Amino acid sequence: MDTEYDLTIIGGGPVGMFAAFYAGMRNAKVQLLESLPELGGQVQALYPEKMIHDIAGYPAIKGRELVKQLTAQLQEFPIDIHTKSAVSDVTGKMGDFTITTVNGDVSHSKAIIVATGTGAFEPRKLAVEGADRFEDQQLFYHIPSLDAFRDHTVLVAGGGDSAIDMALMLEPVAKQVYIMHRRNRFRGMEHSVDLLEASSVTIKTPFLIKALHRLDNGQLDLMMKEVRGDAEEHLAVDDLVVNYGFIADNKALQAWQVTPEMAHQLITVNTEMNTDVPGMAAIGDAITFPGKLGLIASGFGEAPNAVNQLMMQLYPERRSPLHSTTLFEKRAHDQK
């Protein structure tokens, strides 16, 4: 791919996806580069089955469904989308940045919007010898689909909100759900903990998984040891879901030849979402500014700011942003 784009969005999480759509609506020639095999960022990779309640216009929407809607919105415009395309280097300057991916693909862009979230992330793994043998078969770090757990006995390991969410989501589908945490108190919000306690989920605390192996009947035998105690218990389950959070870093970004200023691994931006590199804006979980919230809704607000101000810099002769209805009507008219 050796094309010149107006805008390149690096990172295809929810915020990058919305930015790409918005840039398309502003008639920009856009590409969206994502390192993972699918778009959707944390929402798709970490909590596709979780209900999200704080997206404007949706009283409740599953992560997976939100990504589907964002994908449908993206398809309104001819945006070049490249997955499995982690950006390994950026050189050049405003008007002619050169972007290289790990695959060796090179493209050129007048401006860039960095939407890499907290970086290439992966779940914090279960530190038990041989656990990786069961990965994606009986040991999961996210819930690929609820149906995969129908009528199964499942243990969820973890004590935060998302571990509790997972246990509660599995409860109506699975035969029996256990949740295990290394402390007696869960870290989740009070409301979630109340729901958990009122549910049929069996709580096992304070325990840690010390060993696991496959039984003759195909189930997993979990050897659990009491934290600061001697008690040991064995539990046979069909599946183990581990939710110990995730590790993310922006090391790839720091290796770019043209890299924006960062503080504590987050990109510092001004009120227009500009980094200290002219022509390079940043949005979403990748950034920090006083009062920044790590929420999808905040990122959705930052995206039009970044797109509009970059477009005004690139094309000062073009009119300021119009309302979406006018832009869609104008496009329909131009296409006639």
Ligand X SMILES: Cc1cc2nc3c(=O)[nH]c(=O)nc-3n(C[C@H](O)[C@H](O)[C@H](O)COP(=O)(O)OP(=O)(O)OC[C@H]3O[C@@H](n4cnc5c(N)ncnc54)[C@H](O)[C@@H]3O)c2cc1C
List contacts with ligand X (CB under 6 A): 10-16, 33-36, 41-43, 46-47, 52, 54, 86-87, 115-120, 162, 252, 284-286, 294-297, 299
Least separation in angstroms between residue 7's CB and ligand X is 15
Least separation in angstroms between residue 179's CB and ligand X is 15
Least separation in angstroms between residue 150's CB and ligand X is 23
The residues near 293 (Cβ < 8 Å, ≥ 6 apart) are: none
In this complex, which beta carbon is closest to ligand X, that of residue 8 or of residue 224? 8
Residue with structure tokens 């915020």? Answer: 15
The CA-based dihedral angle spanning residues 121, 32, 293, 261, taken in that order and rounded to the nearest 10 degrees: 80
In this complex, which beta carbon is closest to ligand X, that of residue 106 or of residue 227? 106
> CA 286, CA 11: separation in Å to the nearest integer?
10
Least separation in angstroms between residue 183's CB and ligand X is 19
- Segments in the chain forming alpha helices (H): 14-25, 41-46, 63-74, 161-170, 190-198, 251-254, 296-314, 324-335
In this complex, which beta carbon is closest to ligand X, that of residue 42 or of residue 212? 42
Least separation in angstroms between residue 318's CB and ligand X is 27
Least separation in angstroms between residue 156's CB and ligand X is 13
Rounded to the nearest 10 degrees, the angle between the axes of helix 14-25 and helix 63-74 is 20
> CA 104, CA 119: separation in Å to the nearest integer?
20
> CA 35, CA 10: separation in Å to the nearest integer?
9
Asked if residue 325 belongs to a known ligand binding site, the reply is yes
In this complex, which beta carbon is closest to ligand X, that of residue 51 or of residue 227? 51
Task: Provide, for the chain, the percentages of residues in helix, strand and coil under a 3-state DSSP scheme, each rounded to the nearest 5.
Answer: 30, 30, 40
Residues paired with 107 in a beta bridge: 99
∠ CA(278), CA(281), CA(287), 5° rounding? 130
Centre a 10 Å sphere on the Cβ of residue 332 and count the other Cβ atoms it contains. Answer: 9
Asked if residue 34 belongs to a known ligand binding site, the reply is yes
Q: What's the longest Cα–Cα distance across the chain?
A: 76
Q: Which of 270, 297, 293 is nearest to 18 (CA)?
A: 297
Least separation in angstroms between residue 18's CB and ligand X is 8
In this complex, which beta carbon is closest to ligand X, that of residue 31 or of residue 138? 31
In this complex, which beta carbon is closest to ligand X, that of residue 116 or of residue 259? 116
In this complex, which beta carbon is closest to ligand X, that of residue 43 or of residue 212? 43
**DSSP characters over 250-282:** -HHHHTSSS---EETTEEE--TT-B-SSTTEEE
Q: Which residues sit in the known binding site?
A: 34, 42, 47, 87, 121, 285, 325
Annotated binding site for FAD: 34, 42, 47, 87, 121, 285, 325
